[in-house]
Amino acid sequence: MTIIDDTAELRASLADQLAEILDSPLWQNAFRAVPRHVFAPRFAIHDPVTRTLVHHDVTDVERRDAALAAAYSDDTLLTRFSEDGTAISSSTEPSLMASMLQALDAQPGHRVLEVGTGTGYNAALLCHALGEGNVTTIDVDRHLTDTAADALAEAGYRPTVVCGDGAAGVAERAPFDRIIATCGVDRVPAAWLTQLAPHGAILVNISKGIVLLRRHHDGSVSGPFLSPAGFMPLRADTDPDRLAPRAIVEATSNEADSTHTTSELPELPFAMGAFFANLIADRSQLLFLHGHDDTVSSYRWVHPQSNSWARVDLADDHATVHQAGPRQLWNDMTPVLESWQAAGRPGIERYGLTVTDNGQHTLWLDQPGQSVMPLPA
């Protein structure tokens, strides 16, 4: 394998930072060996202080040292942008990658499908730990798969790289002992269940949480949410563009065809609201608007697939709900919030998910079968 000598110390330092997360030498050695900058030679990092993007280029001799230091930091590297400046591809922060690889519990010899090739860095870590012949990675973006394949070869790895719809999996390489998705979904695609080995597991970002789903004898998969997270959504060529915040506000401002209700409403953190919203209405978007005093003044929720929306205007002691479209979105949200409030306002980590072999998704609290909530198809 080709190793860039001037990054050996940086790679070792990164691996040392992740030691508290990684108790397995398998993954510690992978982070110590794989050169991250090969997969992201040009990238940007968001500066939380200035709220601006800082751009780096490891091929620029004068700026190389700073770029390399940034490449081996525990930060998400934004590597590709749309025409309007929205980040559409990235290299996830290494601590989150490490925690996901640790939770995946993959062992040498396991066949793994990675959905969301991105830069190829995660695929390289899988190759180093499990053997390149056991790794298949898929992405819908031809530019990404071509670039990732080149970077993987430069780093010394040649897994199976496929350009295609990640939701369809890669049937010709199945069955897979593990499926890991480095992108977000709101439902587990049926093909993943079909292509999963009898004792396999799926690790995926569903809605706003990472969940580990293990296969059971009845064909279902089930498991707990491990932590909050929000990856870029799984994309297909036919997917409509996500709405910008301004478009969400405009879509939820028309009251001509809306129904109105007034009710009490528990204080809702955005993380939990977005978690429930995407589970109730897949590929929906929730936006919180703030007033002049920086308190939340309104929830705006759109579900483009059904052309439905809901708006909740908040006052001191009540909320006024406006909603329109074939789906009465807030009517679906109300019993979920009531159940959440009655359970003591639990966080994402107390929830889990079961998916049957016919695709029925059920959310549960603390253990399967408890406080269950079947999710719409």
Answer yes or no: are the C-beta atoms of 155 and 75 closer than 8 Å: no
CB distance 337 to 329 below 8 Å: no
Residue 89 known to be catalytic: yes
Three-state DSSP state, 83? coil
116: helix, coil or strand? coil
Phi, psi for 63 (deg, rounded to 5): -110, 10
What gap in Å lies between CA 150 and CA 339, rounded to an integer?
A: 50
Q: How far is 283 from 141, CA to CA, in rounded Å?
A: 19
DSSP reduced 3-state for 191: helix
Whole-number Å distance between alpha carbons of 209 and 349: 8
* Residue 9 burial (CB count, 10 A): 10
Residue 178 tokens read as: 């593990």
Per annotation, catalytic residue among 13, 24, 82, 89: 89
SS (H, E, C) 247-315: HHHHHCCCCCCCEEEEECCCCCCHHHHHHHHHHHCCCCEEEEEECCCCCEEEEEEEEHHHCEEEEEEEC
Q: Write out the catalytic residue numbers.
A: 89
